[in-house]
Amino acid sequence: MYDTMSRALKTISSSDGAVRIYCCGPTVYRDAHVGNLRTFLLSDLISRTLQMTGLEVTLVQNITDVGHMADDFSEEDKMLAESEKTKVDPFEIARTFEARFHLDLQRLNIQGADSYPRASEKMPQMIAAIEKLIDLNYAYVGSDGSVYFDATSFPTYGALSGNKLEALKPGHRYEFTDEGGKRFHADWALWKLAGARTQMIWDSPWGAGFPGWHIECSAMSIELLDGHVDLHIGGIDLRFPHHENERAQSDSLTGDETVDTWVHGEHLLFEGRKMSKSAGNVVLLQDVIDRGLDPLSLRFALLENRYRSQMDLSWASLEAAHSTLKRWRQLLADSGSGVELKFDQEISDAFTTDLDTPRAMQRIRAIEKDSTIGALDKRALFLFADQVLGLELDRGVESKEPSDEIKALLAARITARAEKNWSLSDSLRDQLSEAGLEIKDGANGQEWSWR
């Protein structure tokens, strides 16, 4: 895999037993959009590839449910703002969106992590980590009573992101804006005093307050992965400041390089634009389903792009993915049953060489078209690839009886075409498409299938 730290490919291996993976999870004040899901799919693809090679995996993915997040450089507390708007307890909001996150993972056939620790339930570990950092002189209590990490105390700060302390300008907004108590502008909060806040605060040796943005991942990964992370995964937007600061904290706590390999997934655009609430183009997995598309069509579309390349997703690419997915499932359904797998060197090499999923998908398409490969062998090769692709290719094609209304529309369209009434034919095709049918006109006349 490509290691962000060394800017080079590194072999992923187990330091002791299972490969220990930590993947930054969701902040549960809203639904995860398809860009967020791309990162969570990345950890699944890496885990499946390691399992394909015979290695065991231990995966930890945190749930950030403590509010007070500065993840989009806003002064507004997202969790509490949502609570104020909906008049619902912030922890109730967190549990609702956490459940919806897990539902989305199931719909995308993403294997569950071994542990989903909630930040709200790991407060003792975070406080203990902060106390240790103070004792080791990596942190201090600021003039405002909050606790800060001393960035200058960590000599290799910036090695992950390429940022240099002397180049970080005062006033650069990448943390909370009310941090007047720190000694140096690049220091960051480990514990913030509550001030006027009355919700989502906890007692601590420094007074009632809440943890800073980065300390939860250090505390959780060190506790749950025994002080060493073989592979740390997250979106490229987390490289700085989150992962840079997390590395400084974790290494200071363990006295060693805590993470072996840092892997970052690139940004996802939708139809040429960055997804944002203000632009009104945030796409959720539920939106894909509401269009009558298999949720795994999203997984399929994401697989056709390299994880560390910026990707432009579109409705057209999702519809094409849906169509191909259905064709492949039909191919396997027509070739028999059973779970016989046949090893393919090119597919294996693609997965184990920096997760080259586009190359694996190209190989599958070539196998599909190869007339020298028999149906049973094609099935066995597809199933070998599907260990990692996770597209449920042996699920079969769903069939259901059309309603009387749809049957009437199909009959009316046959009549319209016979009468060469093309405008009516097109109009009926649109109605049938909205009902979830795909229409094809060939030598044998009108054919249809469920999308």
Provide the annotated binding site for ATP.
Answer: 277
d(CA 2, CA 6): 8
- Residue 6: helix, strand or coil by DSSP? coil
| 305 Cβ neighbours under 8 A, 6+ residues apart | 311, 357, 358
Of 126, 127, 244, the closest CA to residue 187 belongs to 244
What is the total residue count of the chain? 451
The binding site for Zn(2+) consists of 24, 217, 242, 246
Radius of gyration, CA atoms only, the chain? 25
Q: Which residues pair with 235 in a beta bridge?
A: 265
- Residue 327: helix, strand or coil by DSSP? helix
Asked if residue 267 lies in contact with residue 309, where contact means CB atoms within 8 angstroms, the answer is no
d(CA 435, CA 236): 39
Cβ atoms < 10 Å from Cβ of 437: 18
> What type of residue is 164?
K
Alpha carbon of residue 244 to chain centroid: 20
Cβ atoms < 10 Å from Cβ of 211: 25
Diameter of the chain measured on Cα atoms: 87
> What distance, in Å, lies between the first and last C-alpha atoms of the chain?
36
d(CA 56, CA 357): 21
Cis peptide before 26 (omega within 30 of 0): no
Question: What is the phi/psi pair of residue 175, to 5°?
Answer: -140, -170
- Residue 270: helix, strand or coil by DSSP? strand
Which H or E element spans position 406? helix 404-418
- Residue 313: helix, strand or coil by DSSP? strand
| 41 Cβ neighbours under 8 A, 6+ residues apart | 108, 110, 299, 302
Cβ atoms < 10 Å from Cβ of 95: 15
Structure tokens at 194: 């509550």
Q: Reduced to 3 DSSP states, what percent helix, strand and coil does the chain have, rounded to the nearest 5?
A: 45, 15, 40
* Residue ranges with strand state E in 186-307: 188-193, 209-211, 229-235, 259-265, 268-270, 273-274
